[in-house]
Amino acid sequence: MTIESKWCSAIAGGVRIAVQITPNAKKTEVIGVLDDALKLKLAAQPIEGKANEALIKFLAGALKVPKSAIEITHGQTNKRKLVQVAKSLTPADVAKALLPA
């Protein structure tokens, strides 16, 4: 069964995830899907790449992949970002790992 959604899609060698972050939160957590992006709160400031580092660390832990497998390909300085995960995950795997039950 394949689940293709607008926020997470399969690409060659992994998945692409559209995220929208809110930095400076009390804790890092997934809010849900909003406007075709996975919405996340990050307990990091949006300075000197700290929010991007926190995003990569959070996704690596949640998806159980090394941080080196995750790359922010678009939106380095924006709240909306495209992230590629270079592992054999499916969009269904990602949804199961990241979305609140």
The CATH number linked to 88 is 3.30.1200.10
pTM flag (> 0.75): yes
Q: Domain range spanning residue 61?
A: 8-98
**What pLDDT is attached to residue 101?**
65
pLDDT in tens, 71-88: 999 999 999 999 999 998
Strands 37-41, 29-34: pairing is: antiparallel
Give backbone dihedrals phi and psi of 54, rounded to 5 degrees, phi first.
Answer: -65, -40
Q: What's the rounded Cα separation, in Å, for the pair 50 and 52?
A: 5
Q: What's the rounded Cα separation, in Å, for the pair 44 and 92?
A: 28
The answer to whether position 71 is within a domain reads: yes
The answer to whether position 88 is within a domain reads: yes
Q: What's the rounded Cα separation, in Å, for the pair 32 and 22?
A: 12
Structure tokens given for 64: 């159980």
The answer to whether position 3 is within a domain reads: no
